[in-house]
């Protein structure tokens, strides 16, 4: 991995960890891979845009996070499972002096999480559901019975600032959000995004979902903090400037 900005040079594994480490305190970091034309999927999944280096950073960002936040659409499309200790991610977390597993928090207005799915039945750190009071009470109860920690944040819609407060109360201060586009849009509207980590895959895809589909009330400006490169993929860290929210 090469760092292009700041301080150009090669990064070994330890330097890569430092390149993504966050200062103490609460943060919401969004991680996406996109093509040059802003597509976030190839045939419905992000894997077609990825590369070994992208996968490495995906795992590293998870290893550095207290928990992972993801929209139900992404969890379903990408076949999410829980973080397990006996995995590349679990081993890296231990190397970094962190608990081997971390919870996945699924955002779903309708409480769509499947109580029989792997995210529920195989979780070591119990999976969380971030939902709202309008979600079907029976579904919420069934998920709670299955071991899911159900966080009701908001009445008709999920209140993301409240959800992040609730996660922080549970010790999940540094949250990695893995999308998808709907959740990114809602998080930008709510003004809760601190950082966007964007992998730019050297590919043009054409049709399909984009990084951001919905309108925003104004331009959200971001500041480039770091740019890495490997095999033609660029890995940018942008600080989302609070003044622009």
Ligand X SMILES: NC(=O)c1ccc[n+]([C@@H]2O[C@H](COP(=O)([O-])OP(=O)(O)OC[C@H]3O[C@@H](n4cnc5c(N)ncnc54)[C@H](OP(=O)(O)O)[C@@H]3O)[C@@H](O)[C@H]2O)c1
Q: Note whether 103 binds ligand X by CB under 6 A.
A: no
Nearest distance from residue 240's CB to ligand X, in Å? 16
Report the residue number, 90 or 181, with the smaller CB distance to ligand X: 181
Q: Note whether 222 binds ligand X by CB under 6 A.
A: no
- In this chain, which of 119, 181, 205, 235 binds ligand X, going by CB under 6 A? 181
Instruction: Give me the 117-156 binding string for ligand X, x by CB under 6 A, dash otherwise.
Output: ----------------------------------------
* Three-point CA angle 163, 165, 167, nearest 5°: 70
Strand partners, 149: 128
Nearest distance from residue 77's CB to ligand X, in Å? 4
Q: Note whether 178 binds ligand X by CB under 6 A.
A: yes
Report the residue number, 19 or 188, with the smaller CB distance to ligand X: 188
Q: Note whether 174 binds ligand X by CB under 6 A.
A: no
Q: How many residues bind ligand X (CB under 6 A)?
A: 30
Strand 104-107: give its sheet, edge to edge: 9-10, 2-5, 222-230, 233-240, 195-201, 27-35, 174-177, 67-71, 104-107, 128-131, 149-152
Nearest distance from residue 153's CB to ligand X, in Å? 9
3-state secondary structure of 34: strand
User: 33: exposed, middle or buried (C-beta count within 10 Å: 0-12, 13-18, 19+)?
Assistant: buried
Distance CA 235, CA 226 (A): 8
Report the residue number, 100 or 190, with the smaller CB distance to ligand X: 190
Q: Which helix (H) or strand (E) holds 148?
A: none
> Which two three-digit tokens encode residue 153?
């944040």
Q: Note whether 216 binds ligand X by CB under 6 A.
A: no
- In this chain, which of 102, 148, 150, 183 binds ligand X, going by CB under 6 A? 183
* Three-point CA angle 63, 68, 73, nearest 5°: 135
Determine contact, residues 183/210, Cβ cutoff 8 Å.
no
CA distances from 190 to 50, 161, 223 (A): 29, 7, 19
Candidates 8-16, 30-38, 137-145, 217-225: pick the segment binding ligand X (CB under 6 A).
30-38
Q: Note whether 220 binds ligand X by CB under 6 A.
A: no
Binding site for ligand X (CB under 6 A): 32-34, 40-41, 44-46, 49, 71-74, 77-78, 107-110, 112, 157-158, 178-183, 186, 209
């Amino acid at each position: 991995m090469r760092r292009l900005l700041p301080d150009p040079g090669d990064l070994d594994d330890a330097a890569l960890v430092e390149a993504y480490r966050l200062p103490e305190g609460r943060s919401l970091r969004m991680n996406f891979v996109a093509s040059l034309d802003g597509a976030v999927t190839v045939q419905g999944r992000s894997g077609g845009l990825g590369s070994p280096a992208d996968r490495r950073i995906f795992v590293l960002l998870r290893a550095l996070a207290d928990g992972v936040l993801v929209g139900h659409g992404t969890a379903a499309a990408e076949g999410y499972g829980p973080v397990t200790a006996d995995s590349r991610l679990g081993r890296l977390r231990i190397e970094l002096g962190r608990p081997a597993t971390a919870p996945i928090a699924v955002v779903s207005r309708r409480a769509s999480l499947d109580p029989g799915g792997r995210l529920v039945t195989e979780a070591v750190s119990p999976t969380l559901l971030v939902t709202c009071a309008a979600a079907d009470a029976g579904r919420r109860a069934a998920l709670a019975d299955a071991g899911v920690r159900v966080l009701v944040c908001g009445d008709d819609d999920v209140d993301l600032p409240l959800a992040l407060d609730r996660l922080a109360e549970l010790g999940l201060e540094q949250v990695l959000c893995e999308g998808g586009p709907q959740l990114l849009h809602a998080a930008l509207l709510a003004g809760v995004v601190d950082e966007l980590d964007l992998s730019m895959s050297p590919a043009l895809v054409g049709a399909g979902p984009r990084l951001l589909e919905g309108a925003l009330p104004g331009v959200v400006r971001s500041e480039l903090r770091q740019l890495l490169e490997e095999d033609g993929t660029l890995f940018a860290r942008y600080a989302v400037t609070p003044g622009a929210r």
